[in-house]
A = this chain, B = another copy of it.
Amino acid sequence: MEKKQERMTRQKKVILEELNKVKNHPTASEVYDMVRSKLPRISLGTVYRNLEHLSAKGLIQKLDMRKGQRRFDATTQEHTHILCLNCGKVEDIALQPDQDILTMKSKVKDQSGYELIGYEIELHGICPECRSETEKQKENQACKKGR
């Protein structure tokens, strides 16, 4: 009655297998599509539930730990934030770009009083494939000029 015991169902197993096959980071509905070839009757809700369970057990990783909504900020310089996994609060963290991650982590711990659990670094850019596309578009626009 105390602790409920997790069961390894067929659904959970297949989700994990499929996720292990791919090298990218599918969304829940992409996982749904992948899994349906094996289990045609699985529901999207089950996929969501199991992704949640698996990541709670540490068997998979959930990118974007952020809870809920997108956040906005009047300062456009700062790109380093600390997120409280309990209350969802987001605060700024000062970081010198010539500082390494380990140094940063220990500094933050000392200064902010946060208990640090992990981090996520997300680089933003344009992938090679899109770059060539974008260049094509620019050429097109240059031709049409002013729409």
Contacts and interface: CB of A to CB of B under 8 A. Distances in A.
Q: List 10 tightest A-B contacts by C-beta distance, closest first.
A: A86-B130, A113-B128, A114-B125, A27-B69, A84-B127, A25-B71, A2-B146, A19-B74, A97-B101, A82-B123
Could you say which of A27, A124, A146 has the most chain B C-beta atoms within 10 Å of its C-beta? A124
A38 interface: no
Nearest to A134: B86
A83 interface: yes
A136 interface: no
B117 A119 contact: no
Given A26-B72, A117-B126, 19 more contacts: A2-B147, A16-B74, A25-B71, A25-B72, A25-B73, A25-B81, A28-B70, A60-B76, A61-B72, A61-B74, A61-B78, A63-B81, A65-B122, A80-B121, A84-B130, A85-B124, A85-B126, A114-B125, A122-B122
Contacts of A82: 122-125
Q: Which range contains the number of A residues in contact with the other chain?
A: 35 or more
A51 B74 contact: no
Given A25-B81, A31-B72, A114-B128, A123 B97 contact: no
